[in-house]
Amino acid sequence: MLTDLKSLNLTELQEIVPGFKGREVFRFIHRHLKEKISDLTCISLSEREQLAEKYFISNLDIQKTSNEKEAGKVAFKLSDGNLVETVSLKDKENRVTLCVSSQVGCPVQCLFCATGKMGFKRNLTVSEILSQVYHFAKGEKISNIVFMGMGEPFLNYENVLAAARILNHPLGQNIAARKITISTVGIISGIKKLAETPEQFRLAWSLIAPNDGARGELIPSKYNEPIDKIVAALREYQRTTRRRVTLEYVVLKDKNDSEKDAAQLVKIAKQLDSHVNLIPYNPVKGSFYMEGNKGALFSYLKKAGVNVTIRQSRGRSISAACGQLAMHHE
- Residue-level pLDDT at 115: 74
Write the class of the CATH domain 3-56: mainly alpha
Q: List, by residue range, all CATH 1.10.150.530 domains of the chain.
A: 3-56
Q: Which range has the top average pLDDT, 157-166, 270-279, 311-320?
A: 157-166
Q: Is residue 165 a contact partner of residue 201, using CB atoms and an 8 Å limit?
A: no
Q: What is the mean pLDDT of residues 222-227?
A: 92
216-221 long-range Cβ contacts below 8 angstroms, 24+ apart: 217/111, 217/255, 218/110, 218/111, 218/112, 218/252, 218/255, 218/256, 219/108, 219/109, 219/110, 219/111, 219/185, 220/109, 220/111, 221/107, 221/108, 221/109
What are the tens digits of pLDDT across the range 285-296?
667 788 888 888
Look at residue 160 and tell me whether its pLDDT is greater than 80: yes
Q: What is the mean pLDDT of residues 114-120?
A: 77
| DSSP code, position 234 | H
User: Is residue 196 annotated as a catalytic residue, yes or no?
Assistant: no
- Which H or E element spans position 137? helix 126-137
**Which 3 state secondary structure label does DSSP give 3?**
strand
- Residue-level pLDDT at 38: 96
- Catalytically annotated residue among 99, 110, 113, 322: 322
| DSSP code, position 178 | G
Q: What is the mean pLDDT of residues 318-324?
A: 48
- Residue-level pLDDT at 317: 52
- Catalytically annotated residue among 12, 35, 85, 217: 85
- Residue-level pLDDT at 45: 96
Using H for helix, E for strand and C for coil, what is the string for 87-126? EEEECCCCCEEEECCCEEECCCCCCCCHHHHCCEEEECCH
Look at residue 138 and tell me whether its pLDDT is greater than 90: yes
pLDDT band at 40 (very low <50, low <70, confident <90, very high): very high
- Residue-level pLDDT at 320: 45
Tell me which of 303 and 284 has the higher pLDDT: 303
User: Is residue 322 annotated as a catalytic residue, yes or no?
Assistant: yes
Q: Is residue 123 a contact partner of residue 102, using CB atoms and an 8 Å limit?
A: yes
Look at residue 322 and tell me whether its pLDDT is greater than 70: no
- Measured from the Cβ of residue 223, the count of other Cβ atoms closer than 10 Å reads 17
Q: What is the mean pLDDT of residues 121-146?
A: 96
61-66 long-range Cβ contacts below 8 angstroms, 24+ apart: 62/135, 64/330, 66/318, 66/319, 66/320
**Which 3 state secondary structure label does DSSP give 146?**
strand
44-47 long-range Cβ contacts below 8 angstroms, 24+ apart: 47/17, 47/21
- Residue-level pLDDT at 288: 79
- The Cα 262–Cα 247 span in angstroms is 13
Q: What is the mean pLDDT of residues 203-228?
A: 92
Distances in Å between the Cα of 243 and the Cα atoms of 71, 206, 213, 248 are 29, 17, 29, 16
pLDDT band at 118 (very low <50, low <70, confident <90, very high): confident
pLDDT band at 91 (very low <50, low <70, confident <90, very high): confident
Q: List, by residue range, all CATH 3.20.20.70 domains of the chain.
A: 61-318
- Residue-level pLDDT at 312: 67
Q: Is residue 87 a contact partner of residue 140, using CB atoms and an 8 Å limit?
A: no
- Residue-level pLDDT at 289: 83
- Which H or E element spans position 218? helix 212-218
Look at residue 130 and tell me whether its pLDDT is greater than 50: yes
What are the tens digits of pLDDT across the range 54-79?
999 999 999 998 887 788 889 999 99
- Residue-level pLDDT at 63: 92
What are the tens digits of pLDDT across the range 177-190?
999 999 999 999 99
Look at residue 323 and tell me whether its pLDDT is greater than 80: no
The angle subtended at Cα 183 by Cα 181 and Cα 184, nearest 5°, is 150
Kindly indicate whether the domain formed by 61-318 is annotated with CATH number 3.30.565.10.
no
pLDDT band at 328 (very low <50, low <70, confident <90, very high): very low
Q: Which range has the top average pLDDT, 228-237, 273-282, 316-325?
A: 228-237
- The Cα 319–Cα 87 span in angstroms is 10
Q: What number of residues does the chain have?
A: 330
